[in-house]
Amino acid sequence: MKKNYIPILCCSSEKDDKTEGKFYYKGKSFKFVASPRMISQNGVIFQKPDDKIPGENRTWRDLVANGQKDPSLALVEAYRLYKPDIFRDLYHEFDNHFYIFSAGWGIVRANFKIPFYDITYSTDSKVPKYAMRKDNFGWKDFIHLNDDYLNGDYGKFYRDAEVIVFAGSNYVEPFFCDMVQSKLYIPPKRIKIKYKSKNLIQRQDFVYEYYETAINTNWHYEAAKEFLNDYTKGNQTKPVVNVGYDEVFSYFGFQYPPQEREELQRAYRKTVQKYRSVKVESMPDKKMKEINDMYDKALKYFYRT
């Protein structure tokens, strides 16, 4: 019997922002940070996700939760917001059994739409002070994993699955562990945490697995790639050849379907770079949506249907 997995990957500071790092609402420009009082910029209003919307009796988190189908908000699916390819790769393998641990919004489903934000649990000296989230006080993080765990027949998958977490030590301790122990319904013993730092405090309730690597920055993305490669090798099925793929592969310059997913990823990045280099001003969001949609269709060639 195939083992069920629920991967959780921490967010990335590298974001594929389509709105120059800002969020527009009712003609005004907003940016979400951890400490709004520590930064100012002409024409931009800085807010926390749980701040009340100026002039309204609801928070930005309420707006995001209830505005998933509102195109005027220009929210972006979480797995598309971040630049590293591993976010899209995990989504296309695990769909909404893949979650992203966002320092701004919580543990969200991969296709949950969120706005651009500049919030992190990292304490790296290069991180702006206004972006550093230092506690959980006043934050009402989304924890979609709970909703799915309790969702009837759908929840059976979660009660049998192993949750595997790929995140840096600043995300794991204390924030993820505290969130799990105070809010998450899945038993901690069902949660495996990949770690690199041997100085990480290892709480007895969780399962820890050391990941040995010489990579210091973003090592957890490499760990997630290895996990995904091992998983797909163990669950391979022959891709279904469909004439519909001719269009999507030719879109990225292929005469025939590429042999490896990495070839498609390189072609996708090249297409995006080419588009951005010409600085098309007319409907830029529409063009990027087209590129991403074609990439999504092409990726399906490599995954089970």
Domain that includes residue 85, residue range: 5-234
144 or 260, higher pLDDT: 144
Residue 12, pLDDT score: 92
Residues 249, 219 share a domain: no
Residues 110, 91 share a domain: yes
164 strand-pairing partners: 7, 192
Residues whose CB falls within 8 Å of the CB of residue 134, separated by 6 or more in sequence, listed in order: 34
| pLDDT of 138 higher than 50 | yes
Residues 197, 104 share a domain: yes
| pLDDT of 77 higher than 60 | yes
Residues 297, 215 share a domain: no
| pLDDT of 92 higher than 50 | yes
Residues 65, 203 share a domain: yes
Secondary structure element (H or E) that encloses residue 183, with its range: helix 177-183
Q: Answer for the pair 32, 116: CB distance below 8 angstroms, yes or no.
A: yes
- Given 234, 257, 292, which residue is the final one in a domain? 234
The CA radius of gyration of the chain, in Å to the nearest whole number, is: 20
Residues 266, 204 share a domain: no
Residues 223, 159 share a domain: yes
Four-CA torsion 100, 106, 108, 114, nearest 10 degrees: -100
Residue 275 covered by a domain: yes
What's the mean pLDDT in 252-268? 79
Alpha helices in 5-110 (DSSP H): 60-66, 78-81, 85-94
Rounded distance between C-alpha atoms, residue 30 and residue 14, angstroms: 19
pLDDT classification of 20: cutoffs 50, 70, 90: low
Residue 174, pLDDT score: 86
Q: Sign of the CA dihedral 39, 40, 46, 47?
A: positive
Query: How does pLDDT run across 207-258, given as a tens digit for each residue?
Result: 999 999 999 889 999 999 999 999 887 765 444 444 356 677 788 888 767 7
| pLDDT of 287 higher than 80 | no
Long-range contacts of 177-186 (CB under 8 A, 24+ apart): 177/203, 177/206, 178/136, 179/106, 179/107, 179/136, 179/141, 179/143, 180/206, 181/205, 183/141, 183/143, 183/146, 184/107, 184/143, 184/145, 184/146, 185/145, 185/146, 185/149, 185/150, 186/145, 186/149, 186/158
Q: Domain count of the chain?
A: 2
What's the mean pLDDT in 58-74? 93
76 or 299, higher pLDDT: 76
CA 24 to chain centre: 21
| pLDDT of 305 higher than 50 | no
Mean pLDDT, rounded, of the chain: 84
Which of 5-14, 107-116, 213-222, 290-299 shows the lowest per-residue confidence on average (mean pLDDT)?
290-299
Residues 260, 213 share a domain: no
29 or 242, higher pLDDT: 29
